[in-house]
Amino acid sequence: MAENPFLKEEKIWVLDGAMGTMLMKKGMDVNYAPELLNVKHPEVLMEIHEEYIEAGADIIETNTFGSNRIKLSHYGLEDRVKELTKAGVRLAKEASRGRALVALSVGPTGVFVEPVGDYSFDEIKDVFKEQIEAGAEAGADLILIETMSDTKEAKAAVVAAQEICDLPVLVSMTYQEDGRTLLGTPPEVSAAIFEGFNVSAVGANCSLGPESFVNLVRRMASVTETPIVVYANAGLPVLKDGKTIYPEPPEVFGEYAVKLVEAGANIVGGCCGTTPEHIRAIKEAVKDLKPVKRNPIRGLKVASRTKLVFIGTGHPTRMIGERINPTGKKRLQDSLKRGDFSIVKEEAKKQTEEGADLLDVNVGVPGIDEPKAMKEAVRTVIETTDLPIVIDSKDPKAVEEALKMCDGRPIVNSCSGEVKDIKNILPLVKKYGANVLLLAIDDEGLKESAEDRVEIVERLLEKCEEIGIDRSSTLADVLNLAVSAMPESAVETLRAIRLVKEKFGIATTLGVSNVSFGLPARPLINSSFMAMAIYSGLDSGILNTGDSRMVETVFSSDVIVGKDRGAQRFTERFQNYRPKGEDRECRELLSKICQLSCSFLKGEKVSVEFEQKEEKKEGKKESEDEGAPEGVLGKI
Amino acid sequence: MAENPFLKEEKIWVLDGAMGTMLMKKGMDVNYAPELLNVKHPEVLMEIHEEYIEAGADIIETNTFGSNRIKLSHYGLEDRVKELTKAGVRLAKEASRGRALVALSVGPTGVFVEPVGDYSFDEIKDVFKEQIEAGAEAGADLILIETMSDTKEAKAAVVAAQEICDLPVLVSMTYQEDGRTLLGTPPEVSAAIFEGFNVSAVGANCSLGPESFVNLVRRMASVTETPIVVYANAGLPVLKDGKTIYPEPPEVFGEYAVKLVEAGANIVGGCCGTTPEHIRAIKEAVKDLKPVKRNPIRGLKVASRTKLVFIGTGHPTRMIGERINPTGKKRLQDSLKRGDFSIVKEEAKKQTEEGADLLDVNVGVPGIDEPKAMKEAVRTVIETTDLPIVIDSKDPKAVEEALKMCDGRPIVNSCSGEVKDIKNILPLVKKYGANVLLLAIDDEGLKESAEDRVEIVERLLEKCEEIGIDRSSTLADVLNLAVSAMPESAVETLRAIRLVKEKFGIATTLGVSNVSFGLPARPLINSSFMAMAIYSGLDSGILNTGDSRMVETVFSSDVIVGKDRGAQRFTERFQNYRPKGEDRECRELLSKICQLSCSFLKGEKVSVEFEQKEEKKEGKKESEDEGAPEGVLGKI
Ligand SMILES: [Zn+2]
Ligand SMILES: [Zn+2]
Ligand SMILES: [Zn+2]
């Protein structure tokens, strides 16, 4: 694994400024394949690099922002990726002579990856691999994936880089005035996603002037300890005398450099419109500064493209919607077999409305092409809801398809202590920067005692450490057994949760309803167990968000254990709570009305005496079999 | 406190046989005030005592069974109680010459105490005091309260004895063929009640032959470690040749003596129809036997006249109905002020139907004569339900009135760590053989930390020990504070429960709903908290049994924590459980039907299209304000 250079020294690093602006200043035509200048005017690039290094840049960027197959194809240069990229790196290396690190600039391809666009994850990854491979071969010190608007595209670039080489990777996204990327990703989400890949820096660049970046940096710093890179434009460009002018002068960058460092930045530079003078001002301002100590929010970070959800101590108990799962559901099984994802869509929508925090996605139907079905199911969910996803499959191929389809940072459910899971699942989690649910079962099967289950989790954590998955990306599921089968098992499960929290401090989850398997009135058992589990340290549950009793239990338990201090969340949701009424009386009334109507229509004498009390008792058995109010509706 | 002579030696004690039978045999007329023989024919009594001692009796009974004011008044002898009693004791002492202990026989008065009869507890107590005082003064070694059918009368006799002297007290009840006393008390309940007074023995005598006593003894032994005394009649009397004959021969008593000892008896003798030969047979059979080791059911024992309820580890979580309490209830306050106990009666009935295990009785209305109101409230509850009572008052006079009215073994709620409670409440608990709720608050006020609350309980347990109240008669209430006021308080309460269980092992209880004070949707908070509390070791809760969610939580939690292994109780109660439906749809249908009916009656064109979906959304706000189905009912 690449060592993180920005954590080695306690200093603020200075990145160089704009390339395009400088090329224009030096009379180059940047409207036609700027990367071509690497071979046409190498002396100009050498000059620019030299000027930035003299101004104080610790890192210079290669002129390779668009040297990928897709961008270069606009100029018919698609087969010159390697050549132009290598040339760009070599020029920077030559200019640097060891005085500055050379960062391979990797800009966006300009196309969208599925589900937003048509390109597959692997296609875009291959595009980046070609460029990055050339850059790495030519001797780049860092890979700087920058000016990205699409987390999926950036993820493909990161995976490409990490497949190719061990070089430190930096990922910088571009934000609009509303604090989100073009595709709606806020900075916390980006930070969470790329922290998952253990990148050397996350950050923001381009678009606006430096003042708008202070808050972006602060927001990233609030969720991660990954170093932050930030390089603003010299303000929004204005047209003056037919020329594009970037208004912010160097001294403003000096000023803001300090503020950015105070907000949490480790690497500060300039983007469009900035010059060596800007970089000089930054260098002057930060040269004696040190990175601030951060105290980011702790917990497991799960993200969709737009939403970050923390799971763990101090956070509300998260509800993972369990209903996209065909186990025991004939209708869903059949539709999945037909390639029909309408029920998946419907359940994604419903569970979101019901208040799920994450959605579990499981398409395990015997005989199905699970990788294909999983890919489509995840696509469907992503297109329907903004909730982060829990990829629920034991099939590594299906897991990988889902990982490639996810825009954010999902959880893989699950890696058990079984040898095949450790071998097949953990590397995927690592490769795609995901989180992983560690399931307390191994090749020996179910363990009844809490200690035995916790021991499996411990072993799995060691395996994670070996492969480079941080504890903060793990979620323990100590497994929930049916209390009807083993009366002590529920208490053992609760003890195991507490032990995991005490020993490892990691996030916990549980398939809640297993506890009541084989018993009547399961929601009663489930909700009481959930309250105890939350008290024992459970941070999330895989559960039915349509079970209002369960949802009420989660919210109320959080008040009791202090996760919802002041009961704010609870009060918001249940301010107007009324216990659900017994509908029997209502149904009996309807039934009586129907009888009366019939009698009336038949011309019979209508009796309007309601002998409610007695009817109730006699009618009990029957109306119980009838089902919900729909029964009455059907009759009418 | 009296030392228990039957625990000092590991042996089986032999009690003597019938007095009346022997007097008849010796030609005495026992149909007229047998106690008069103490002064008329002392030599006959000396003879009988001598014969029993020779036969092997370790304990002989005085001829004072009916020497109380009420019984003697039938013969105009009511002013000779002292004389006849003392004479009876002196004769036994003289005959014994130290070879056997002399037990003062104290039989029933023949009248009933309120609420069954008209005599007050204090009146009957005074009757017994006169007799027992005389017996103690004359040198009796033991007080044997015997052949009792009414636990209340027996309690009065015990209190009388313990007010008078320090002598060991034995209490023996008489059971019918159905295994209950005339007033319905089963042997477990008697054993539990008199164990509360720390008597030296509980037992059974008279009525049937020895075979029927084996099970009575076994049942008593299953709930108490108090020594057991048992002395059967020589079978049911039969009339033969105009004479009353008791059919069981001595050898049967020898046989059954062994069985009775095996069942748990410590003291074996004979009642009506038995002779020195019977006693000799018993002596022969038991002389080398030792009392069996018992393993009675552990836990706090709370009893009504007919029902014993255990609270504590291993028992189901008990529900103490909280609704007989005027706090915040205008209607109940007003009725109590008027001396109207109809609401008390109604609530006693309802809570019993709802499944309460015990009933809390509180009549604390400012300005009321609380002792009087409490007495009547307890009387009302006793007459309405068979549930044991929790006497809820801070007024020692009210507590004492309630204690005198209770037939069984109630709980006094409460003794706090306040000096005045320790001084005023604990002695009453001791005197009336009750249980006590130890409230974790003292003169310094509420304590937030678990440790501080537990420390108060510890101090209270020391005070109990000093005064002679056993731990098994105590129930800790660590106090439940509003989580809205102090966010950590709920978790502290749960910790305190666990600490109390771990440190002292005593039973626990809690006013459950306090936790949600000041919050909306209180039943949600209450039930989640209850589940956690049960997991933390809560053995009972003072709660609203009309809150179905709470009841469901108690039953389901017991399954999870293993109090209801196999989920038998749960399944019985919730086999046909259905979650309560959302009645909105139903109400909307009713409303629509009403509209249609109106239109039809007005001769308007009737549309039968139900635009349900849209109506639902628009109608939401309104229907929520409307209330339960009654609203619709009202409209119709
Ligand atoms: Zn830019
Ligand atoms: Zn008898
Ligand atoms: Zn007798």
Q: Answer for the pair A30, A74: CB distance below 8 angstroms, yes or no.
A: no
Tell me the average pLDDT across B432-459.
Answer: 97
Q: What residues pair up with A202 in beta bridges, in sequence order?
A: A171, A228
Confidence of residue B571 (pLDDT cuts 50, 70, 90): very high
Model confidence over A63-108: pLDDT tens digits? 999 999 999 999 999 999 999 999 999 999 999 999 999 999 999 9
Question: What is the Cβ-side half-sphere exposure of residue A447, based on CA atoms within 13 angstroms?
Answer: 20
Radius of gyration of chain B (CA): 30
Q: Cβ of B445: how many Cβ atoms within 10 Å? A: 7
pTM metric for this prediction: 0.90
Q: Which of A353, A514, A526, A559 to mutate to test the interface with B (most CBs of B within 10 A)?
A: A559
For chain A, percent of residues with pLDDT exceeding 70: 92
> How far is the C-alpha of B246 from the C-alpha of A189, rounded, in Å?
94
> How far is the C-alpha of B394 from the C-alpha of B458, rounded, in Å?
21
Place of tokens 């008669």: B473
Report pLDDT for B605.
57
User: Which residue blocks in B311-440 are alpha helix, DSSP H?
Assistant: 330-337, 342-354, 370-384, 396-405, 419-431
At B504, list the tokens.
Answer: 């002292």
Q: Answer for the pair A549, B579: CB distance below 8 angstroms, yes or no.
A: yes
Tell me the average pLDDT across A595-611.
Answer: 59
Checking if the pLDDT of B620 tops 60, the result is no
Query: B517 — contact with chain A (CB < 8 Å)?
Result: no
Q: Do A566 and B624 touch (CB under 8 A)?
A: no
At A484, list the tokens.
Answer: 């009807």
Question: What is the Cβ-side half-sphere exposure of residue A619, based on CA atoms within 13 angstroms?
Answer: 16
User: In chain B, which among 524-543 make CB contacts under 8 A with chain A?
Assistant: 524-525, 527-532, 534-536
Q: Answer for the pair B197, B433: CB distance below 8 angstroms, yes or no.
A: yes
Cα A425 from chain centre: 18
Average pLDDT, chain B: 92
Model confidence over B112-122: pLDDT tens digits? 999 999 999 99
Place of tokens 């080791």: B293
Candidates B410, B435, B414, B409; CA nearest to B425 is B414
Cα B17 to Cα B34, B100, B206, B267, distances in angstroms = 16, 13, 11, 12
Helix, strand or coil for residue B165?
Answer: coil
**Distance (Å) from the alpha carbon of A113 to chain B's nearest alpha carbon:** 38
At A428, list the tokens.
Answer: 């995927």
Q: Answer for the pair A32, A6: CB distance below 8 angstroms, yes or no.
A: no
Q: Do B571 and A491 touch (CB under 8 A)?
A: no
Checking if the pLDDT of A118 tops 80, the result is yes
Checking if the pLDDT of A30 tops 90, the result is no
* A494 neighbourhood in chain B, CB within 8 Å: 535
Query: B556 — contact with chain A (CB < 8 Å)?
Result: yes
What are the backbone dihedrals phi and psi of residue B9, each rounded to the nearest 5 degrees, phi first?
-115, 140
> How far is the C-alpha of B204 from the C-alpha of B176, rounded, in Å?
11
At A453, list the tokens.
Answer: 């289950």
Cα A56 from chain centre: 36
Q: Answer for the pair A179, A216: CB distance below 8 angstroms, yes or no.
A: yes
Of B170-179, B206-215, B568-577, B625-634, the poorest mean pLDDT is in B625-634
Which chain B residue is nearest to residue A553, measuring alpha carbons? B528
Confidence of residue A571 (pLDDT cuts 50, 70, 90): very high
> How far is the C-alpha of A66 from the C-alpha of A181, rounded, in Å?
19
Strand B201-205 versus strand B169-173 pairing type: parallel
Place of tokens 């995991």: A500
Average pLDDT, chain A: 92
Question: What is the Cβ-side half-sphere exposure of residue A82, based on CA atoms within 13 angstroms?
Answer: 4
CA of B206 to the centre of ligand 2 (A): 3
Query: B613 — contact with chain A (CB < 8 Å)?
Result: no
**Distance (Å) from the alpha carbon of B388 to chain A's nearest alpha carbon:** 27
Single-letter residue type at A312: G
For chain B, percent of residues with pLDDT exceeding 90: 87
> How far is the C-alpha of B546 from the C-alpha of B317, rounded, in Å?
16
Using the CB atoms, write b or e for A54-84: b if 16+ within 10 Å: ebbbbbbbbbbbbbbbbbbeeeebeebbbbb
Report pLDDT for B583.
58
> How far is the C-alpha of A445 from the C-alpha of A456, rounded, in Å?
11
Model confidence over A410-436: pLDDT tens digits? 999 999 999 999 999 999 999 999 999
Which chain B residue is nearest to residue A587, measuring alpha carbons? B586
> How far is the C-alpha of A109 from the C-alpha of A128, rounded, in Å?
9
